[in-house]
Amino acid sequence: MEILDGKKVSNQIKEEIAAQVAQMKANGEKVPHLAAILVGNDGASLTYVGSKVRSCERIGFESTLVQMPNTTSEIELLKKIKELNENDDIDGFIVQLPLPPQIDEQKVLLAVHPDKDVDGFHPMNFGKMALDMSTFIPATPFGILELLDRYQVETQGKHTVVIGRSHIVGRPMSILMGRKGFPGNSTVTLTHSRTKNISQITTQADIIISALGVPGFLKAEMVKDDVVIIDVGITRVPDETKAKGYYITGDVDFENVSKKASYITPVPGGVGPMTIAMLLKNTLLARERHRSRA
């Protein structure tokens, strides 16, 4: 069994991007600028956005954090998005999800200009991804592709089972694994909460990408020998013995499933750090495209 070490690979990617940014600076060029909008003060969202901003600083990007109160109206948020769309200094930006209930998430995703949509959530970018056109691939699926690529995990002709059909992970992942090329050329089954006899499907899988958010969901008896496991799940489980009052766990019973797997991602240290690295990669791409349009 080999660990797909997202922490190590994401650090390599960040070093590669940092070297490109240093070269940009040496050439007197503008460096990429990522902005993030955070509405409210959800603990997990604060942590995610904080580490995105810190990563920008470490690799030499400019970053801007726009914090808005939990009571922000949809109109106020859309106004802020318009400002960022029109701000020529900003190459790309994200709106951290989830949003408070008074705000329609779909309206927000549609308001982000596709050229600045480094999360790849805008329907135009999602459509381009589905059509194999050059675009911003959502950071978590992009990170999974990169992990499979860097470890040269065979995907062609394999049966990939995706658990979860969210718009940000499961659905795009199912499209990407089925597309022509590497990583891809898989035969894909997309499963969700209405899937019957899911064990029957997972035991036939060569690759399982689990993104449902249920700790310990995938058990050893649900997988076959030599399976490749990508655990996207991140759940905070309350635990008073931990300094933070919780620990982080994935969807997979790591201890037992890892004994049967050929490759497996740990949680933490697997897909999570890759997501941030690929957001940075998308921002670099946004900067390059912005420059070529100017």
CA separation for the pair 112, 81 (Å, rounded):
6
**Residue 3 CA from chain centroid, whole number:** 19
Is position 229 an interface residue for ligand NAP (rule: CB under 6 A)?
no
Catalytic residue among 52, 80, 116, 158: 52
The residue within the footprint of ligand NAP, chosen from 168, 208, 230, 252 (CB under 6 A), is 168
Catalytic (active site) residue 96? yes
Output b/e per residue, 273-291; b: 16+ Cβ within 10 A.
bbbbbbbbbbbbbbbebbe
The residue within the footprint of ligand NAP, chosen from 218, 261, 271, 280 (CB under 6 A), is 271
Is position 266 an interface residue for ligand NAP (rule: CB under 6 A)?
no
Amino acid in the structure at residue 33: H
CA separation for the pair 147, 283 (Å, rounded):
19
> Which of the stretches 14-22, 152-160, 162-170, 237-245 binds ligand NAP when contact is defined by CB under 6 A?
162-170
For residues 228 and 218, the answer to whether their CB atoms sit within 8 Å is no
In the block, tokens 């990429």 appear at 32
Catalytic residue among 14, 20, 80, 96: 96
Q: Pick from 64, 71, 79: which is nearest to 41 by CA?
A: 71
CA separation for the pair 130, 39 (Å, rounded):
30
For residues 63 and 36, the answer to whether their CB atoms sit within 8 Å is yes
Work out how close the CB of 191 gets to ligand NAP at its nearest, in angstroms, rounded to a whole number: 6
> Which of the stretches 30-38, 122-130, 191-199, 201-209 binds ligand NAP when contact is defined by CB under 6 A?
191-199
For residues 86 and 53, the answer to whether their CB atoms sit within 8 Å is no
Residue whose CB is less far from ligand NAP, 24 or 263 = 263
The residue within the footprint of ligand NAP, chosen from 192, 201, 256, 288 (CB under 6 A), is 192
How would you classify the pairing of strands 246-249 and 235-238? Answer: antiparallel
CA separation for the pair 245, 240 (Å, rounded):
5
Task: Report the residue closest to ligand NAP, judged by CB.
Answer: 213
Work out how close the CB of 292 gets to ligand NAP at its nearest, in angstroms, rounded to a whole number: 29
Catalytic (active site) residue 260? no
Exposure on the CB side of residue 152, measured as CA atoms within 13 A = 0
Catalytic (active site) residue 119? yes
**Residue 119 CA from chain centroid, whole number:** 8
**Residue 236 β-bridge partners:** 248
Work out how close the CB of 67 gets to ligand NAP at its nearest, in angstroms, rounded to a whole number: 21
Is position 174 an interface residue for ligand NAP (rule: CB under 6 A)?
no
The residue within the footprint of ligand NAP, chosen from 169, 205, 280, 286 (CB under 6 A), is 169
Is position 12 an interface residue for ligand NAP (rule: CB under 6 A)?
no
The residue within the footprint of ligand NAP, chosen from 180, 194, 196, 293 (CB under 6 A), is 194
For residue 25, the tally of other CB atoms under 10 A from its CB is: 12
The residue within the footprint of ligand NAP, chosen from 72, 125, 160, 235 (CB under 6 A), is 235
Is position 234 an interface residue for ligand NAP (rule: CB under 6 A)?
yes
Catalytic residue among 5, 119, 231, 253: 119
Work out how close the CB of 182 gets to ligand NAP at its nearest, in angstroms, rounded to a whole number: 22
| Residues assigned a catalytic role | 52, 96, 119
Binding site for ligand NAP (CB under 6 A): 140, 163-166, 168-170, 191-195, 198, 211-214, 232-235, 271-272, 275
